[in-house]
Structure 1
Amino acid sequence: MKFVTTLVIARRSPLLQVLKTSVAAVVAWVVAGFVVQQPLPIFAAIAALLVVQPSVTQSIEKGLERSIGVVAGVVIALGAGQIFGTSSWVILMVIVLAVLVAWLLKLSAGSANQIPISAMLVIALGGQNAEYAVDRIIETIIGAMIGLIVNLAIVAPVIVSPAHTAVLLLTKHTAAALESLASALRVPKTDAELDVLLADSRHLKELRDVASAALRKGADSLTLNPRRSKHHRILHRDRELFAMLTVLVTRTLGMARAIHDRYDSDLATDPVALSIAQELERAAHDLRLRGRSPSEREAAPPTRELLTLTAPLTVLTPHPQHWILIGSLLEDVRRVHEEIVGDDGTS
């Protein structure tokens, strides 16, 4: 059921993340209890639980959201408690007022949810006690700071490997799609095979979106991360490769759609179509080569290291029947050529 799948994720979070969250909550509880002399420093523990995130940047964001939400909620609760008391209808009024304040200030979801929660707890537990309200703010700041420190101190998370894997997968499938396009020009295809060709090319957009999200998470995990230096080069290379792949995916899908809509089995006998097929195969080879790391390139046989794309094809006399399709493919192949080997034909 779809409802169940939203409750259960496909993969557990790393055990280290669980341990870090637990450590942060325990330390925040102990420290806050000592500082504010409160036997149950719940606000500190909650702040620590929320702040320990998969990346340092997210931890800072959550810390700010939590702190802003608590301060605003405490101010609203304290003001309402001083004026109206602590009746049940006052608590309801404070909740509604806190939600409206968050909406008027255009606060993020984290802060917007935190304001009414903090306001409700403070007025219900502390009432008109200003000292109690101030202690909750101090608790929250302590919990947020400890959560951030723990996230930094205990192996600050680096999420570069999933991004690298996603980009390599996109490279692999894009190269395979280019070879499939070449095959469609060389060998007559059925309608069902053309449908599969178009579906596979459309799937590249999904892989592109996955890679884009993974790269954003990877970059986010390196921001303000003390371990960023040795991972930054890999991520930078993957982002450059992804920028090229973004264009190639668009061009590949365009060629697949053109071949699917204007396909003719006679293309297999058209010399220009066969030349385009050869260029597409070369493009697939060169794309796989670009996807390798420098160390993998050095280990590969020298004859396999050479980019095979030649100068872009030119046609002086278009085919009277296939000229629309051929013209479209030539333009897309030209753009593919420029992306892989550059405008001047050099890598």
Structure 2
Amino acid sequence: MEENKTALIWKMAIGSAVSWELAKLIGSDHPYLAPLSVVLCLQSTIDQSIRYSIHRILGTAIGIILTAYLASHLDMNGWILGLLLLGSTFIAKWLRLDETVLHQVALTVILIFTFERKSKDYSIDRILDTIIGVIITILIHMLLSPPDFTKKAVAATEKLALQLSDILLELSNWVHLEWGGEKGQVMKYKINLFLQELHNTKATIELATKSLKFNPLGKKHAAILTMCKMKMEKMNNWYQYVSTIVGTLKDWEKAGHLLSNDQIEVGNHLKTLSEYFRNLGEGKEGNLPSSMNLLQSTPPPSHQVYREFFYLETRNLMQKLL
């Protein structure tokens, strides 16, 4: 994130300087309008900058068309300004334009109302300088350290996988070492925290995906984000699995019937899953060992319903992970 902030600072400074000089070069008497567009249109991603730029140009054009003539022939007072704002923004709303456009229309109306009678060229300068600022913004955003949140997405995905590994290891220790200690509530709390991080990581990956749109590095990093999404799908499947399993283990613990053989097998399976997700979190290939042969085996009918349910859910999870 610090790298992105540093890049943003440089882009605002360079873009403002270039756009100001370019606006002066074409004869603008209000060159400050160009860097104003640069500062406003520099968004988190190139895609967002382009959309915001379109809204800004559209809002500016509508505001000028509806206000420029009237502003030079009406008295300057708050009531006239309010009526102009009301009329122009309602027209924009009637055209079903975005809320961002409404703000740009209102801003343009205020500035045109204030400066048009002082400088007859203000309206023309405003639209031309806005276009200059927008063009410079998009070019500098694409060519100078284009925003890319791929590294952040990868780090968030790996961190989530390690968090998941720790929870599975704790579940294994519950079965192996702490059975009868009523640890189910603690595990439910940790799983709920994991769910929050799951949503946050999905949002980070989504932002990273958007940051690659119109980005020269987009194709290079798209494959990395595809891998992150595949890992997220596995962790989402795990969340559904473990949410069910914890309830089963709680009921099994209350029943008090846990044979030593079951204790070893169930605990080991959870530990194996923990190691699988730890490998994912460390950027390694996550392979389930052949010793975890739940896909081929079925618990004998003599086993209790809790064991049968645990094995059934674990088999379903493994089918999704493979």
Q: Give the shorter-chain TM-score range.
A: 0.7 to 0.9
Moved more, 45-54 or 229-238: 229-238
Partner of 2:24: 33
TM score, norm. by length of structure 1? 0.81
* Offset, 1:27: 1.5
Taking the aligned partners of 1:332 and 1:36, their CA distance within structure 2 comes to: 72
2:189 to 187, 190, 199: 199
Amino acid across the alignment from 2:241: R
1:338 to 289, 303, 319: 319
Quickly say closer, same or farther: Cα 1:307–1:208, change in 2 above 3 A.
farther
Quickly say closer, same or farther: Cα 1:272–1:318, change in 2 above 3 A.
farther
Taking the aligned partners of 2:260 and 2:98, their CA distance within structure 1 comes to: 59
Quickly say closer, same or farther: Cα 1:98–1:42, change in 2 above 3 A.
farther
Map 1:246-257; keep pairs closer than 5 Å.
Answer: 246-257=236-247
Gaps of 5+ in 2: none
Confirm whether residue 317 of structure 1 aligns to residue 301 of structure 2.
yes
Alignment: residue pair count? 320
Partner of 1:134: 124
For the aligned residues, what is the CA RMSD?
Answer: 3.0
Secondary structure of 1:114's counterpart equals: helix
CA contact (8 A) 2:28 2:125 kept: no
Confirm whether residue 163 of structure 1 aligns to residue 159 of structure 2.
no
Report Cα offsets for 1:227-267 as digits up to 9, x if no partner.
Answer: 23432332221121112211112222232244346642725
Secondary structure of 2:26's counterpart equals: helix
Amino acid across the alignment from 2:181: T
CA contact (8 A) 2:160 2:281 kept: no
Taking the aligned partners of 1:20 and 1:250, their CA distance within structure 2 comes to: 44
Partner of 2:271: 281
Confirm whether residue 46 of structure 1 aligns to residue 36 of structure 2.
yes
Moved more, 268-277 or 92-101: 268-277
TM score, norm. by length of structure 2? 0.86
Quickly say closer, same or farther: Cα 1:244–1:124, change in 2 above 3 A.
same
Map 1:1-347; keep pairs closer than 5 Å.
Answer: 14-38=5-29, 40-78=30-68, 80-81=70-71, 84=74, 86-127=76-117, 131-186=121-176, 187-191=178-182, 193-260=183-250, 263-264=253-254, 266-269=256-259, 271-272=261-262, 274-293=264-283, 296=284, 306=289, 308-312=291-295, 314-317=298-301, 323=305, 325-341=306-322
Moved more, 130-139 or 167-176: 130-139
CA contact (8 A) 2:167 2:190 kept: yes
Taking the aligned partners of 1:74 and 1:50, their CA distance within structure 2 comes to: 19
CA contact (8 A) 2:142 2:214 kept: no
Secondary structure of 2:147's counterpart equals: coil
